[in-house]
Amino acid sequence: MKLNYKRVICVGFAFFLITAFWQAYDKTIPLILTYKFDMKQTLSGLIMALDNILAVFLLPLFGALSDKTKSKLGKRTVFIIFGTCFAVISFVFLPFIGNVWLFIAILLITLLSMATFRSPAVALMPDVTCKPLRSKGNAIINLVGTVGGLIVLGLGIVVKVGESTMHNLTPYYIAVCGIILLGLVIFLLTVRENKWAEQMRQDTLKFYPEEKPSDNNTNDKKLSKPELKSLLLILGSVALWYMGYNAITSKYSLYADKVLHQSYDLTLLIAQGAAIISYLPVGIIATKIGRKKTILAGVIMLALSFFFAIFMTANSNPVIMYVLFALAGIGWATINVNSFPMVVELAKESDVGKYTGWYYTASMSAQVITPVLSGALMDLVGNMLPLFPYACICVALAFLTMFFVKHGDSKPVESKSILENFDVDN
C-alpha cells in the first residue's frame, strides 16, 4: 500500500488557502492597529490573540459538526467553500474601514469565518488516507500549506508592506484574496471527497483488515481507559511543546535585541527552511519506525537546541545560533508531522473532525497561555534571560508525557524499495 501523493496534494490546497490567509493576517493586522488606529500594544495584543481564543472553542465545535454533515460535495468540502467565501468577503473590506470599532467587528466576522472550516479542512487528509500513511500525508499537506504562506510572504516583500503602505493596502488585500480563491478553485476542481473517502475505506479493508473502518452511522465505539489516557497524554504533549516553541517565536526578536544585541532576523527563516526540507523525510521515517519514536527524537532535538541557546551571548558566533535554529526547525517538523496523525489514529471514522478540533484546542490554548506565562516570568526576574530555559523545560516535559503514550502509533509500512516511498501512481 502506497500513499497517493497526487490526491493528498490536491487535498492540501485547503491548507494552502488557510496558510495564505494567516500569513497576510499576521503581517498586516498588527501594523494597521498600531499605525492606522494608533492603538496601544496591550489592546493590540488582545485583538491579535482573538483568533487563538476563538479557536479553542470553535474548532472542536465545527470539527464535530462536519463529522455529522452529509452532502453531495462531502462533509468537509461544504465548510471549506462557505467558510472561505465569507472570510474573503469580509477580509477584503478591512483596508477600506476607517472606524476602529467597525474594523474590529469586521475582523471578528473574518476570524469566525476562518474558524468554521479549519478543522474540517485538516480532517480531510485522514478522511482520504489510510491510518498507517497519515504521517506522510500530513507532511504533504504541510508542504502545500507552506507554499501558500511563502507566496503571500513574497507578495508582501514585493509591495513592501510596512508603516508607509498602511493607507494603500487595498491592492495587497485584493491580491491575497485572489490567491486564496485560486487555492479554493484548484481544490474544488481536483478533490472528490466522497469518492476518495469511500476508496480509502475499501483500501483499508483490503490492505489493513485489522483497521476495519467504522460505520458512519454508528457511534457506539468508545475509547478504552488506556486509549483515553494516551489521548490525554498526546494532547498534553501538544500543549507543552507548543508552549515552548511559541514562546521562542513570539519573543525571540526582542530577545535578540535586548540580550544578544544584534539582529538575528535570519534565524527564524533558517528554522522554517529546515522544517520545510524535513517534512517529507520525517514522514517517511515515521512509517518505518513508528510515530512515537520519531516524535521523541524530534522533542530531543528541539529541547537540545533551546538548551544550548541558553548559553549564547552577544559575543557568541552567530553561526552557532543558525545551527541551533536549523536543529530546532528539523525537530519541530519531526514533531508536527506526526503528532496530529497520532490524535486521529484514536478516532473512529465518524469522529475525525472532532478529534482534529481537540488537537487544535490543545495547540491554540498553549499559544494563548504561553506569551502571558513566559512574559510574567521575565517580568518577575527583570530581564529576558528566562526565555530559553522556559522553552527548554516545556519541551522536556513534553518528552515525559509522550514517553508514556501507549496508543496512537501505527504499524510500520514495509516497502520493496526506497523509491517506492515516492511512488505517485493513482
Structure confidence at residue 411 (pLDDT): 61
pLDDT score at 416 = 46
Q: Chain centroid to CA 100: how far? A: 30
Domain architecture of the chain: domains with CATH: 5-211 (1.20.1250.20), 225-408 (1.20.1250.20)
Task: Supply the pLDDT for residue 288.
Answer: 85
Q: Going by C-beta distance under 8 Å and a sequence separation of 6 or more, which residues neighbour residue 370? A: 242, 243, 244, 246, 247, 250, 394
Q: For position 280, what pLDDT does the model report? A: 87
Q: Please give the pLDDT value at position 335.
A: 93
pLDDT value, residue 232: 94
Q: DSSP labels for 330-353?
A: HHHHHHHHHHHHHHHHTS-GGGHH
Q: Is 136 within 8 Å of 415 (Cβ atoms)?
A: no
The predicted model scores a pTM of 0.79
pLDDT tens digit at each of 426 positions of the chain:
688 889 999 999 999 999 999 988 888 887 888 788 888 766 777 787 888 888 888 989 999 999 899 999 889 999 999 999 999 999 999 988 989 999 999 999 999 999 999 999 999 999 998 888 888 898 899 899 988 988 988 887 787 766 555 567 888 999 999 999 999 999 999 999 999 999 988 887 877 665 555 544 444 467 889 889 999 999 999 999 999 998 888 778 778 777 887 765 577 778 888 888 998 898 888 888 888 999 999 999 999 999 999 998 888 888 898 899 999 999 999 998 899 889 988 887 778 888 888 998 999 899 888 888 888 888 888 888 899 999 999 999 999 999 999 988 866 555 544 444 444 443
Distance between CA atoms of 279 and 335, rounded to whole angstroms? 10
Distance CA(255)–CA(388), nearest Å, equals: 10
The contacts of residue 102 (CB under 8 Å, 6+ apart) are none
CB neighbour burial string for 408-421, b if at least 16 within 10 angstroms, e if fewer: bbbeebeeeeeeeb
